[in-house]
Structure 1
């Protein structure tokens, strides 16, 4: 066996192990959703017959339409607003020159070092004084100007052909028209990748909604699942069934946009 063959075999083995480690939790979650709590505690790894029972228990204990609406509304509206605001900021930082541009951008990147836990109390006080606690606005507003997404769009905009912008200006388009009719179609892969990142972050957001959403009617699926785990004797089968349902929207978004996601992460511009 030559060294090249051995190296390729070693790479495949390592990738197979990494794939197994990555996929096994999801596999275990699906298997657990079909078993009883006792079977899960015993470590049963085969499909059981308790799927319908777990589903009935979950929909009995949880107002599923309401909590999924809450999660979907927060995730979709938050994602759309984040993409609009952050892409505009990234476009502006790259396309418009000023002597303070790099300093402001460096300050934004410096703010990334501040942990969210250090901002929670001031944010809560601010929204409390504005009487916005326990509203969707309190959950969505702090996330719409994402420094990471602004940075991501600025870096992606570096690959945007300046000739297209110059040609659009010669044709008489305003800057807003250039952004809407030239920049957006060209950067669709970047938007697809950002959509997956932002949607997953908003859908799985836990800490901030836990603080500002204080009634059951406004809670999201992550908060409800966390509350169910705090029971004295948790029903793990029912919990895993709910976790499977909570995972489906992010899986759908990823598989729909996965091709564009890869292109966007690689910086492809077409």
Structure 2
């Protein structure tokens, strides 16, 4: 009995420590957004009264509406296109059988081991020759065919009931109709989980936009935050406030799709 109590206490203690480690950076970010830069440097961990001043300073330095619009265009377009292309590819890899299917899929998985740093130069040359530099298209296109999302949808498709597909074929539905009217509604939780993953990745993307977006009117929120930190005397209150604002869209998406995200990651199919 004593052993069970000690074990449960150890579990709750471990969970409490893990929760604190996970939440404290976000708490520090929110609190820092309300304090002056000097208070943040000295380690003040209580809510201050400088939120309005920090927000005014941020507006004086950044066209916040334009920056959020740029990030939203990139993230939403990349999410929609990635889900459309990658889900079709994942569905096709699992449903349609051929002799070379597995070899092609293995090659795709092998490409995951190539770091993005090795692809930057040839990718930039391709974008430049296509005259797409400094455009949102240049940021979105390389992310559309995501190998990880293709793999994710193929694994999820393994749980798709074959009886539904057979019944749809008996009813006279074509393959594209089966995908739209049978497969897609059945895989809502999978799409929700993929939406969170792709949107967060696109919204927080930094390195590739830094390379291809060259003018201020095209900058996304991650690039703006980076430019704020590179000042000679950075205003940490403004930086943390901009970070809080940049985090809000991803938090909203996650909380709206939280239940479907958990179901999708568990591979459930309704």
State if a TM-score over 0.5 links the two structures. yes
Is 1:215 the equivalent of 2:215?
A: yes
Mapped partners of 1:104, 1:115: distance in 2: 20
2:237 corresponds in structure 1 to: 237
CA deviation after TM superposition for structure 1 residue 202, in Å:
0.1
Is 1:170 the equivalent of 2:149?
A: no
Note the aligned Cα RMSD (angstroms). 0.6
CA deviation after TM superposition for structure 1 residue 5, in Å:
2.5
Mapped partners of 2:12, 2:88: distance in 1: 42
Is 1:251 the equivalent of 2:251?
A: yes
The aligned length equals 270
Mapped partners of 1:122, 1:3: distance in 2: 60
CA deviation after TM superposition for structure 1 residue 7, in Å:
1.7
Task: Please list the CA deviations of residues 178-204 of structure 1 after superposition, one character each: whole Å capped at 9, or x if unmatched.
Answer: 000000110000000000000000000
Task: Please list the CA deviations of residues 112-163 of structure 1 after superposition, one character each: whole Å capped at 9, or x if unmatched.
Answer: 0000000000000000011100000100000000000000000000000000
Ranges in structure 1 where 5+ consecutive residues have no aligned partner: none
CA deviation after TM superposition for structure 1 residue 257, in Å:
0.2
Mapped partners of 1:176, 1:5: distance in 2: 57
Mapped partners of 2:267, 2:191: distance in 1: 11
1:3 corresponds in structure 2 to: 3
Ranges in structure 2 where 5+ consecutive residues have no aligned partner: none
Mapped partners of 1:28, 1:233: distance in 2: 20
1:136 corresponds in structure 2 to: 136
Mapped partners of 2:5, 2:209: distance in 1: 51
TM-score, with structure 2 as normaliser? 0.99
Is 1:112 the equivalent of 2:149?
A: no
Mapped partners of 1:190, 1:5: distance in 2: 39
1:267 corresponds in structure 2 to: 267
2:21 corresponds in structure 1 to: 21
Mapped partners of 2:129, 2:145: distance in 1: 21
Mapped partners of 1:101, 1:10: distance in 2: 49
1:85 corresponds in structure 2 to: 85
Is 1:189 the equivalent of 2:189?
A: yes
Mapped partners of 2:185, 2:2: distance in 1: 48
2:124 corresponds in structure 1 to: 124
Mapped partners of 1:144, 1:182: distance in 2: 24
Mapped partners of 1:8, 1:112: distance in 2: 40
Mapped partners of 2:125, 2:3: distance in 1: 63
TM-score, with structure 1 as normaliser? 0.99
SS at match of 1:214: coil
Mapped partners of 2:11, 2:265: distance in 1: 23
Mapped partners of 2:58, 2:68: distance in 1: 13
2:41 corresponds in structure 1 to: 41
